[in-house]
Chains A and B, each alone.
Chain A
Amino acid sequence: MKKLTRLITAILLFPLLLSNAYADSIAEGKEISFDRKKGNCLACHVMDDGELAGLVGPPLIMMKVRFPERAVLRAQIWDATERNPATSMPPYGKHRMLTEEEIDKVVDYLYTL
């Protein structure tokens, strides 16, 4: 019975661990997005509670509706010129401004908007 309790605890703990990691990822994603030396998304996009946001790009809202496929949103951050060669958006992944992990975190964060 004691062992069973431990098992249940472990089973309950596992998703908690995961969700903690996910929450961390979202928080880090936000940090990366707002950091002027990293994503600096606010230079062009209104998003979340960001202050002094630019108006050049579309506001980053309703991301799940606008980008139902995660891969499409990720690709847009990785290299927006793929979809629109005349875009003004920097290719964050292709040009190594953000790492793969950082982009994943930014995507996690963007999907909360």
Chain B
Amino acid sequence: MKGLTCLSAMLVGSLFISVPSFADPQSDSDDVRAFFQKRFSNITLEDYADGAYALNENARMQWEEIEEFPPYEDAVDEGMVLFETPFANGKSYATCFPNGGIGIKQNYPKYDTETQQVITVEYAINQCRTSNGEAALPYGQGELAYVSAYMASTSRENIINVVIPDDEGALAAYEAGKKMFYERKGQLNMACATCHISIAGGQLRAEITSPALGQTTHFPAFRFGWDDIGTLQKRYAGCNTQVRAKPFALQSEEYRNLEYFHTYMANGLPLNGPGSRK
């Protein structure tokens, strides 16, 4: 009898231990959506592409006025010129991407099973340059952000479709990004999730914190604080600094994994970048 009790105890124990350490990305995404649906029952999934502006009528009206004369238009134009200018070897960005680089941003970030890493659009842009004998561009802003903004503009309205292949490395990258999103960091001891899940939609000073869901749709974005167009990872670094955590290098493995998790969450939402944000 005692042996049986022991055995069943061990069985129950092993049940707990055998819970897979890798969460299921699809069910993660479902949970986040269910959470937000409960909190903001009056907005649709597509509305999340508009960030905090979906939650506040006043802010939304101001934003729509700004979007009538988009502050990112020059950047997109410049990006197009850069995109179409051939490299010294005669090739161009178009030769590095599927469909000549047009209308494909919804498929990024991708996981490259060969090199076992997450590839973002910006990372791929620099890969394209270096493999064609050009110098890599600095990440975050400037020419690289303009090229990315142009590529985003050709992908507007396309539905985000980030794929996590059935590959141990891909799941590990997703899981690392997920951990990074939820762990508390910096002197302020705050996670991405603190502002963008726990208190999402809440008012910090005069600003409304945007929900995590849909944040990736409109980057690169023109932010008035930057007075320029910048990439999603530039914003990551800004968030880290705001909670007094030392930011990672742009396009580091850490940030690429984070972008993988962060964008997967937005699968099914339409791209609307480049966008403008306060």
Contacts and interface: CB of A to CB of B under 8 A. Distances in A.
Interface residues of A, number: 16
B204 A43 contact: yes
A44 B198 CA distance: 13
Contact of A90 (B189, B202, B206): B189
A88 B206 contact: no
B207 to A, nearest CB: 8
A56 B190 contact: no
Interface stretch (A21-29, A47-55, A64-72, A104-112): A47-55
A44 B203 CA distance: 7
B194 interface: yes
A96 B205 contact: no
Contacts of B204: 43-44, 54, 56
B194 A96 contact: no
A86 B203 contact: no
B188 interface: yes
Contacts of A97: 187-188
B210 to A, nearest CB: 14
B135 interface: no
A10 B109 CA distance: 75
B230 to A, nearest CB: 23
B190 A90 contact: yes
A6 B198 CA distance: 61
Interface string B189-225: 1100011001100111110010000000000000000
A76 interface: no
A42 interface: yes
Interface of B: 187-190, 194-195, 198-199, 202-206, 209
Given A52-B206, A55-B203, A95-B187, 20 more contacts: A44-B204, A53-B205, A54-B204, A54-B205, A55-B202, A56-B199, A56-B209, A81-B189, A86-B198, A88-B190, A88-B194, A88-B198, A88-B199, A90-B187, A90-B189, A90-B190, A91-B189, A95-B188, A96-B187, A97-B187
